[in-house]
Amino acid sequence: MDPDFDFIIVGAGSTGTSISYYLRKYGGKVLLIDSKGIATGNTAKSSALIRTHYSNELIAAMGKYSFDVISNFDSIGFSGLHQPGMFFPFDEKYRDTAKENVEMLRGLGIKEVESSSREIEKHFPGISLSGFDYVVFEPLSGYADPVAVSNSYAEAARNSGVVVRVGKEAKRLESGNGKVKIHLNDGSTLTGKKVILATNVWTNKLLENSGVSKNKLFPITASMHSVIYLKRPAKFQGEKPVLWDPPNLAYYKMEGSTLLAAGSLDPEIDKKPVNIEDNLPEAAEYDYIEDYVSRLTDRIPGMGEATVVSSVTGLYDMTPDGQAIISSLDGLGLEGVYACVGLSGHGFKLSPAYGLITSEMVTDVPPERATFDWRKFSPDRFKEGKLITSKYTEIGTIY
Ligand X SMILES: Cc1cc2nc3c(=O)[nH]c(=O)nc-3n(C[C@H](O)[C@H](O)[C@H](O)COP(=O)(O)OP(=O)(O)OC[C@H]3O[C@@H](n4cnc5c(N)ncnc54)[C@H](O)[C@@H]3O)c2cc1C
Contact residues for ligand X, defined by CB under 6 A: 10-16, 33-36, 40-43, 45-49, 146, 169-170, 198-200, 202, 206, 225, 227, 263, 314-316, 343, 345-349
Spell 112-133 as b/e; 16+ CB within 10 A means b.
Answer: beebebeebeebbeebbeeebb
In the complex, the smallest distance separating the C-beta of residue 119 from ligand X, rounded to whole angstroms, is: 22
In the complex, the smallest distance separating the C-beta of residue 48 from ligand X, rounded to whole angstroms, is: 5
In the complex, the smallest distance separating the C-beta of residue 97 from ligand X, rounded to whole angstroms, is: 21
Using CB atoms, what's the residue nearest to ligand X?
Answer: 13
Provide DSSP, 196-227.
Answer: EE--GGGHHHHHHHTT--GGGS-S-EEEEEEE
In the complex, the smallest distance separating the C-beta of residue 203 from ligand X, rounded to whole angstroms, is: 7
103 CB neighbour count, 10 Å cutoff: 9
Q: Which is nearer to ligand X, 3 or 347 (CB)?
A: 347
Q: Are strands 221-231 and 49-50 parallel, antiparallel or unpaired?
A: unpaired
- Give the separation between CA 230 and CA 398, rounded to whole angstroms: 23
In the complex, the smallest distance separating the C-beta of residue 303 from ligand X, rounded to whole angstroms, is: 20
- Give the separation between CA 399 and CA 397, rounded to whole angstroms: 6
- 231: enclosing H helix or E strand: strand 221-231
Dihedral over Cα of 306, 311, 316, 320: its sign: positive
In the complex, the smallest distance separating the C-beta of residue 185 from ligand X, rounded to whole angstroms, is: 8
Angle of helix 146-159 relative to helix 14-23, nearest 10 degrees, comes to 30
Q: Which is nearer to ligand X, 299 or 349 (CB)?
A: 349
Q: Residue 336: left if φ>0, alpha if ψ -120 to 50, beta else—which one? A: left
Nearest alpha-carbon partner for 226 in 284, 267, 280, 294: 284
Q: Which is nearer to ligand X, 172 or 376 (CB)?
A: 172
Q: Which is nearer to ligand X, 93 or 171 (CB)?
A: 171
Q: Which is nearer to ligand X, 14 or 101 (CB)?
A: 14
Q: Which is nearer to ligand X, 129 or 184 (CB)?
A: 184
Q: Which is nearer to ligand X, 101 or 199 (CB)?
A: 199
Alpha helices per DSSP H over the chain: 14-23, 57-70, 95-107, 117-123, 146-159, 203-209, 267-270, 286-299, 351-362, 380-384
In the complex, the smallest distance separating the C-beta of residue 13 from ligand X, rounded to whole angstroms, is: 2
Nearest alpha-carbon partner for 178 in 333, 7, 3: 3
In the complex, the smallest distance separating the C-beta of residue 14 from ligand X, rounded to whole angstroms, is: 4
In the complex, the smallest distance separating the C-beta of residue 253 from ligand X, rounded to whole angstroms, is: 7
Q: Which is nearer to ligand X, 46 or 79 (CB)?
A: 46
277 CB neighbour count, 10 Å cutoff: 7
Q: Which is nearer to ligand X, 94 or 229 (CB)?
A: 229
109 CB neighbour count, 10 Å cutoff: 10
Q: Which is nearer to ligand X, 32 or 98 (CB)?
A: 32
Angle at 243 between CA 241 and CA 244, to 5 degrees: 145
In the complex, the smallest distance separating the C-beta of residue 219 from ligand X, rounded to whole angstroms, is: 16
Rg from Cα positions in the chain:
21
